[in-house]
Amino acid sequence: MTFWEKVKTQLSDIGNLSGHIDTAAAEKSIRGNIYFKGANVWILAFSIVIASVGLNVNSIPVIIGAMLISPLMGPIFGIGLGLGINDTALLKASLKNLLVMMGISLIASFLYFLITPLSLSNPTELLARTNPTIYDVLIALFGGFAGIFELCRKEKGTVFSGVAIATALMPPLCTAGFGLADGNLGYFVGALYLFMINCIFIILATYITVKYMHFEKFEYKDARTAKKARRIISAVTLIVIIPSIWSAFVMIRENRFNENVAQFVEKSKNLSSCFIYDYEISHRDGNKVEIFITGEPLSATEKSNLLESAKEFGIDSDQIIINERNMSENPGEDEILKSIFERSDFEISKREDTIRSLEEQLQKLKDKDIPYIQITKEAVNQYPSVKELYIASGANVTVDGYSQKNGLLVIAKTAAPLTAEQKTRITDWLRIRTNTTEVTFYEFAAEKTQE
């Protein structure tokens, strides 16, 4: 067996699921958890209220705790299983209980936000549940895979708790309840949209896994009933798959637009006599961005240049709304402060870059600085006849071709002439000591200067 065959065999053994899964037990578990009756109803209602409190006060640990105790995943896995094994009865029961679950959740969160005395001055956790992104799609899809694999595994672990947290089914329902209580249609629609995306992709992951693991298909005694069931299953499967593909495509496009806008604004933030202090992105009527500019009004040329610059980032001119505001128009205090801070941050950053550049240049000059006194002391210690040293750093230019070499010129005033060997040694030492390749050494006797 070759090396690559061994590697292939080992990888196959590592990823082999046989002996680790029990599809019959998984099916039994899913069928037993789709119904919302008795204690499950009250547990769901309590967990919804807890999650609503967490969203109300922006407490992530409280939201996570509510997700851990909520029995939300059962009907969703039931729909995926029903599609995978062609069981219309299971599919209908799961859909019915999913609607019951949604109704209970919306009513509980609606009542809480209707009577809560707590204010929502900065509802960041609520807002995060009204704008789905491509990351929500990926989390729901792979969270669904992790959940169904955990149900199929013989030795159960803690994966299911993590799936409940990651897929985050409860917070969107709570946010939708807040939207109803507050009369905010945007919150209600956005949160329900996120919830449906999570459900669809968990169902899709369950359906794919059930098919891959070859769950035992449901057999109908009557051929006509079986044919009707297959039609229903096919229709529901298409209803699940087509929106999931479309949602993923739309969100990828929106995410790319968001990144392009952020890069464009960062590059174009500071204009000649004005600057961009904020921007807002909207995906409701296509991808659009409104940029807010303060300072002197843009000229026609500057506006044209700005729109041309946006095209470099894949943003068309009809996707940009320019909102100019002069300082003389008395903008709000918050906007003025934001504008000042934006400009100040830019100026500080610019000055820091300049200081850093000057410090680097200064350090380079210090590195090139020659320790004249120390070199003279060392030279005298090695060659006592040396009385003075003239050290200069400069350029040696040859007339023929006018080539230039930067180097060091050293002239020694000596009491007694140095031998040729001593001159060579001191030249080599100076090259090493000053880290300079080009060193020219001359010597003249002290007695000659006295004459």
Residues 51 and 189 in one domain: yes
Give the sign of the dihedral formed by CA 135, CA 137, CA 140, CA 143: negative
Q: Domain boundary residue among 340, 366, 392?
A: 366
Domain ranges, residue 406: 372-450
CA distances from 108 to 53, 114, 147, 174, 354 (A): 11, 10, 26, 8, 58
Q: Stretch 288-315: mean pLDDT, rounded?
A: 82
Domain assignment present for 80: yes
Rounded to whole angstroms, the Cα distance separating 437 from 443 reads 19
Q: Where are the alpha helices (DSSP H) in 38-158?
A: 39-56, 60-69, 73-85, 88-115, 124-127, 134-152
What is the model's pLDDT at position 346?
A: 59
Domain containing 318 — which CATH number? 3.30.300
* Both structure tokens of 17: 């699921």
Residue where the block lists tokens 């880290």: 435
Domain assignment present for 384: yes
Q: In which band, very low, low, confident or very high, does the pLDDT at 450 lie, cut at 50, 70 and 90? A: very low
Domain count, the chain: 3
What is the model's pLDDT at position 327?
A: 47
Domain containing 95 — which CATH number? 1.20.1080
Rounded to whole angstroms, the Cα distance separating 99 from 339 reads 48
Rounded to whole angstroms, the Cα distance separating 203 from 218 reads 18
What is the model's pLDDT at position 165?
A: 58
pLDDT in tens, 164-178: 655 567 778 888 888
Backbone phi and psi for residue 331, each to the nearest 5 degrees, phi listed first: -65, 170
Residues 335 and 387 in one domain: no
164: which residues sit within 8 A by CB, 6+ positions away? 67, 68, 70, 72, 73
CA distances from 366 to 369, 395, 433 (A): 5, 19, 15
Question: Coil, helix or strand for 361?
Answer: helix
What is the model's pLDDT at position 58?
A: 73
Domain assignment present for 243: no
* Both structure tokens of 44: 């769901």
Rounded to whole angstroms, the Cα distance separating 175 from 186 reads 10
Domain assignment present for 223: no
- CB contact at 8 A, 97 and 231: no
Q: For residue 297, which amino acid is it?
A: P
Percent of the chain with pLDDT over 90: 0
In the predicted structure, residue 66 carries a pLDDT above the cut 80 = no
Rounded to whole angstroms, the Cα distance separating 196 from 190 reads 10
Domain assignment present for 333: yes
Q: Domain boundary residue among 307, 337, 366?
A: 366
Residues 336 and 360 in one domain: yes
pLDDT in tens, 138-173: 777 888 888 888 888 876 655 555 566 555 677 788
* Residue 378: closest CA among 433, 417, 422: 433
Domain assignment present for 46: yes
* Both structure tokens of 343: 């400009």
Question: Coil, helix or strand for 220?
Answer: coil
Residues 182 and 319 in one domain: no
Rounded to whole angstroms, the Cα distance separating 24 from 440 reads 91
Rounded to whole angstroms, the Cα distance separating 299 from 433 reads 61
Q: Stretch 388-403: mean pLDDT, rounded?
A: 79
Q: Stretch 399-422: mean pLDDT, rounded?
A: 82
Residues 84 and 117 in one domain: yes
- CB contact at 8 A, 202 and 140: yes
Residues 145 and 183 in one domain: yes
Rounded to whole angstroms, the Cα distance separating 132 from 194 reads 5
Q: Domain boundary residue among 339, 366, 393?
A: 366
Rounded to whole angstroms, the Cα distance separating 173 from 168 reads 10
* Residue 88: closest CA among 220, 198, 214: 220
Domain assignment present for 283: yes
What is the model's pLDDT at position 447?
A: 59
Residues 191 and 330 in one domain: no
Residues 203 and 178 in one domain: yes
The winner for highest mean pLDDT among 72-86, 228-242, 317-331 is 72-86
pTM to 2 decimals?
0.58
Residues 178 and 60 in one domain: yes
* Both structure tokens of 412: 């020694």
Name the more confident of 376 and 327: 376
What is the model's pLDDT at position 123?
A: 53
Residues 125 and 266 in one domain: no
Rounded to whole angstroms, the Cα distance separating 173 from 107 reads 10
Residues 338 and 388 in one domain: no
Residues 126 and 163 in one domain: yes
Rounded to whole angstroms, the Cα distance separating 187 from 182 reads 9
Domain assignment present for 40: yes
